[in-house]
Chains A and B, each alone.
Chain A
Amino acid sequence: MPPPSASRKFMYPEQSVPYSVYIKQEHPDELFAKLEKPGKLQLEERPTFLKVGALATVKGSAYMEYGKTKVMTSIEPPRELNKQTKKIGTLGLVTCTLKYAPFAVKDPACIPRKETSMALALKKALEPVICRHEFPYFQLEIKVLIIDDDGCALSTAINCCGAALVDAGIATYDLITASTVCKYKDVEFVNPNAVIEQLVSTITNSESDEEHGIVVTASLAAVDQITECFQKGYFKPETLQQLTDHTLAINERILDTVRYVLFNKVKTLLEKEKEAREVIETINAITESTVAE
């Protein structure tokens, strides 16, 4: 029984199938053999583009490209809650909505499930970082749009939200960063792309002893805390700890990027302000001198 909302969101006719089904399917093992495998484990982020304040119409926004993954976030200013709402407490409420563009993934059938589960994970990752006691009886709405998903969608969304929160002027305890690591057939993939993410969930030999799975960790570097750790697959406990450590190392690299972008944003803002002040001062000086005459 699909959730009633699923059929409404998914606009394609139920009977149609993508033509790629009729193309000769590659066996996962062959696909894996063809994949470019990382020679040495490099705990680095992908080439990243981040723009804060990308939208003029909302209070805070950010646009992030993480490799080919493209995410847009917008944050509305906190809104007062209806007095009848039962959820009222002394802490502000955070709601996250996450939408996939219909063309963001190859197989649009998986979108409804991804949207709900990622929105939940996003909320859990962001709640601890926001100073919620600063806006009791208010609700903060965070909207995320995934424009293109080439792996690491959840971690990119978290990174993007972290930057957008700062842009919106919402008080946070720290800057939040997140990253994704996969393991498949004893090879570790840092920042996996969509092909690898798809591959990880399939396994050819279910009798063997090998591990497979994906780990997403969101962390706060300054206070040394993990706000969200999400894993699925099949791991030994030691592997999980090792992969979590790797994600934390990448998180610190991403933090540098985000910090740099935010720093530049503030710098340009201050410069603009200074220029404006100088202009006003010169105008004042001119008017004063003319008045004196």
Chain B
Amino acid sequence: MANISLSEAEKTFILHGVEEDFRCDGRSRRDYRPMELETDLVSNASGSARLRLANTDVLVGIKTEIDKPNYLTPDQGKIEFFVDCSANAAPEFEGRGGEELALELADTLTNAYESPKAFDLKTLCILPGQQCWKLFVDILILECGGNLFDAVSLAAKAALFNTKIPRVTAALMDAGEAELLISDDPYDCTRIQIENLPILVTVCKIGDSCVVDPSAEEEECSIASAVVGVSKRNGKNYISNVHTIGEGSLHKDTMHNCILLGLSAAENLNNELVKALKLEESRVGSKHRNTIGFLK
């Protein structure tokens, strides 16, 4: 991703560290780097979150708009992911440089959210065949320090948790067209259920072992990784999306081990995320607070 050049000696050092289960920053193969999560910091968005995972910085804003449902699925709302790789994150993102990575990120999220069991679009429907909510999930990558997939999916989930959809109080039928009345109380709103929302875990194969949460340097040492989308439902973990990234290939058994490692990592991560979000909400509540700038 972010192109950093490493010498052969540095690569060998990282490789040996991973083999010993003691990585450069002191983590084991199954550990994540520290994370910082803030929600509700963009005033013009319905929901927002900013996640900092060591050096990776992601800001997600969610806009809610009213749209006409697709004629094939009249009882479903819409969700759209858009990723922007800012040129601030890495010089090679300048111009159209980040387009491919951005497309891949957005596509992976769309695939992971596609199953009705992972994210039920029916909850976004207002009037079947007439009006529905459309969520625009705009993801801005501010800094690129490895493991973008995980960071982006966590931030998206946090932002969706934070999203407040205004309550529709009445619909007037006027010559067959529906006209909606939206509650004028800004605190009268519905929330999105996030229990089943998938998160992505990148499992990176370095040497003969697999690690989670690779740093940018570790990503350089790996030729193949698997991205696993994990969604939790009724206490069980399901896979909602898998795909391989990187220019190399994996053995069948390695692939399976990667998926299992991804599942166990995702379970812990998911629990921690939900806990953190609930904690933040209970501390801040719905009180109006002064947002403190995140660019310290």
Contacts and interface: CB of A to CB of B under 8 A. Distances in A.
B115 A17 contact: no
A215 B228 CA distance: 13
Interface in A209-238: 209, 211-213, 220, 223-237
A132 B255 CA distance: 23
A232 B111 contact: yes
A120 B107 contact: yes
A226 B234 contact: no
Given A231-B242, A231-B243, A236-B239, A248 B115 contact: no
Interface stretch (B210-218, B244-252, B270-278): B244-252
Given A124-B244, A201-B114, A229-B226, A236 B238 contact: yes
A91 B256 CA distance: 29
Interface in A221-259: 223-237, 240-241, 244-245, 248
B243 A121 contact: yes
A116 interface: yes
B259 A226 contact: no
A203 interface: yes
Contacts of A121: 243
A107 interface: yes
Interface string B71-109: 111000000101000000000100001001001100100
B241 interface: yes
B11 interface: no
Contact of B248 (A1, A128, A201, A236): A128
Interface string B216-236: 000000001010000100101
Contacts of A236: 236, 238-239
Nearest to A216: B243
A16 B186 CA distance: 37
B252 A240 contact: no
B244 A228 contact: yes
| Size bracket of the B interface | 35 or more
Contacts of B241: 231-232
Interface stretch (B36-44, B116-124, B145-153, B171-179): B116-124
B32 interface: no
A54 B127 CA distance: 51
Given A213-B115, A248-B252, A226 B104 contact: no
Interface of B: 71-73, 80, 82, 92, 97, 100, 103-104, 107, 110-112, 114-118, 120, 122, 136, 224, 226, 231, 234, 236-252, 255-256, 259-260, 263
24 contacts: A1-B80, A91-B247, A116-B103, A120-B100, A124-B244, A124-B246, A128-B248, A129-B249, A132-B247, A203-B116, A203-B117, A206-B117, A223-B249, A224-B251, A225-B250, A225-B251, A227-B244, A228-B244, A229-B226, A232-B240, A233-B114, A235-B238, A244-B255, A244-B256
Given A120-B103, A202-B116, 14 more contacts: A21-B71, A116-B107, A120-B100, A120-B107, A124-B245, A129-B249, A201-B115, A211-B238, A223-B249, A225-B249, A227-B244, A229-B250, A231-B241, A248-B252
Interface of A: 1, 17, 21, 86, 91, 107, 113, 116-117, 120-121, 124, 127-129, 132, 201-203, 206, 209, 211-213, 220, 223-237, 240-241, 244-245, 248
